[in-house]
Amino acid sequence: MKRLKQHVIWGQRGSFILAATGSAVGLGNIWKFPYITGENGGGAFVLMYLLCILLIGIPIMMAEILMGRRARANPIIATAELCEAAGASKLWTGIGWMGALAGLVILSFYTVIAGWTLEYIVAAVSGEFTGLTGEASKQLFDGLLADPGKMLQWHTLFTLMTVVILALGVTRGLESSVRVMMPLLFVLLLVLLGYAAVEGEFATSLRFMFSFNPQDISWESALVAMGHSFFTLSLGMGAIMAYGAYMPSNQSVSRTVLYVALLDTLVALVAGVAIFALVFATPGISPGSGPGLMFVTLPVAFGNMSAGLVFGAIFFVMVMLAAWTSTISLLEPGVAYLNERFGFNRVAASILLGVVAWAMGLGSVWSFNDWSAKQFLWGKSYFDTMDFIATNIMLPLGGVLIALFVGWKLRDHHILHELASESPRLVRWWRPVLKFISPVAVLVVLINGIFPVLRAVFVE
């Protein structure tokens, strides 16, 4: 495939780790991980999740980085060039195309939810959490969902924030922003952990998150853990591959991946411990309260604690930063493609794709109000349809294909020199896991994800 420009490489130490961690740490860690842990029983779920990170997440992340760094191009051109080099069928190029498309789809609804954090920062600062009861908190949240104008305003603002960073370029935009935002995010998280230790039921929370009860292990929760390990590390859609193209050649891929996976997991665990400590300290609310945990339950906890407004605002700023460093990685594969393939400048490419994602997100905004009765695929709302297609189909499919492509199609001479400075023991371990274990595990996630729909279409 024709390409116009040589890629930039991030010069400053640690930039790649910060950017990849920024992509990985997002709503998945702070919003989703705690509530699915709550719903699936705590400790046993955490253990399964860690196992999935090790057997699925880490091997596939290494594969994505290697592809990006080897080709030094965006995921579409990278897969095309590697296909050609390996003499593999052109169909494998679908990995890059599907990834860029999945990025647009995820971005379109991710900014809708990320927009809620902006509303909640304003709500915390303006004292709306004070003395909040469970009922009033639910009304506050339902009021936001029922107001398409307000939701649209935050969706638009979050999309704009994403476009601005991408338009500033790979060094001035992406690299500079993660170097500020990620350390800030870590500091805010530690502040919140300290607050939860003082104000919350810390010991109860630790017991909930880490006490292991074998009865809680079930097939369903294992599948949730597998699927989540994948989403939380931003795998399967080329975001990490796109960043891999900017990674210096002398940096160790395996060590970097371990850092990213460790940081991502730590943020999820620390956020979980802090959130549950605050929730357990508030009478009348429960930890297993599903998706409403962050936007309904937690504001009640903040509203009834000392200095809860300040720490409530800090919490939602932290979630906003986490989401922001993820949204930029969702659009980067597409922006880099338009730039490297057709010579679009970054400003034009970012605006163009930002507008496309924004427009696709309108349906997600309306899913909670004007379109709440409308059904799209298989009885799902527009929002759930988009989430389903991207998270349950495109990401796992991308992941299986990446594992198979790097595991089976690329020969040693295509990638081994990228791994020259890595520990030989690790490389020996990585290849078989990538060839056999990861694709099978992700395939199980994929089949399970589409199974309810297949049943709905063919059986019921």
- Residues near ligand PFF (CB under 6 A) are 23-24, 26-29, 103, 106, 231-232, 234, 237, 239, 326, 329-330
Between 151 and 233, CB nearer to ligand PFF: 233
Between 400 and 419, CB nearer to ligand PFF: 400
Residue 201 structure tokens = 């039921």
Residue 188 CB, shortest distance to ligand PFF, in Å, is 17
Residue (of 226, 235, 368, 356) closest to 295 by Cα position: 368
- 309's enclosing H/E stretch is helix 308-342
Residue nearest to ligand PFF (CB): 28
User: What span, in angstroms and rounded, lies between the C-alpha atoms of 330 and 231?
Assistant: 12
User: What span, in angstroms and rounded, lies between the C-alpha atoms of 418 and 410?
Assistant: 12
Between 269 and 309, CB nearer to ligand PFF: 269
User: What span, in angstroms and rounded, lies between the C-alpha atoms of 84 and 90?
Assistant: 8
Between 54 and 457, CB nearer to ligand PFF: 54
Residue 328 CB, shortest distance to ligand PFF, in Å, is 9
Residue 17 CB, shortest distance to ligand PFF, in Å, is 15
Phi, psi for residue 251 in degrees, rounded to 5:
-85, 140
Polymer length of the chain: 460
**Cα radius of gyration rounded to whole Å, the chain:** 21
Residue 127 CB, shortest distance to ligand PFF, in Å, is 29
Between 221 and 329, CB nearer to ligand PFF: 329
| Sole residue written with tokens 């009861």 | 133
H-type helices in 168-246, by residue range? 176-199, 202-210, 219-232, 239-244
Residue 94, judged by CB atoms within 10 A of its CB (0-12, 13-18, 19+), counts as middle
Residue (of 322, 335, 389) closest to 34 by Cα position: 322
User: What span, in angstroms and rounded, lies between the C-alpha atoms of 275 and 78?
Assistant: 40
Residue 75 CB, shortest distance to ligand PFF, in Å, is 10
Half-sphere exposure of 145 (CA within 13 A, CB side): 17
Between 129 and 316, CB nearer to ligand PFF: 316
Half-sphere exposure of 83 (CA within 13 A, CB side): 18
Between 128 and 175, CB nearer to ligand PFF: 175
Between 83 and 331, CB nearer to ligand PFF: 331
Residue 207 CB, shortest distance to ligand PFF, in Å, is 25
| Contact of 105 with 280, CB cutoff 8 Å | no
Residue 33 CB, shortest distance to ligand PFF, in Å, is 8
Residue 105 CB, shortest distance to ligand PFF, in Å, is 11
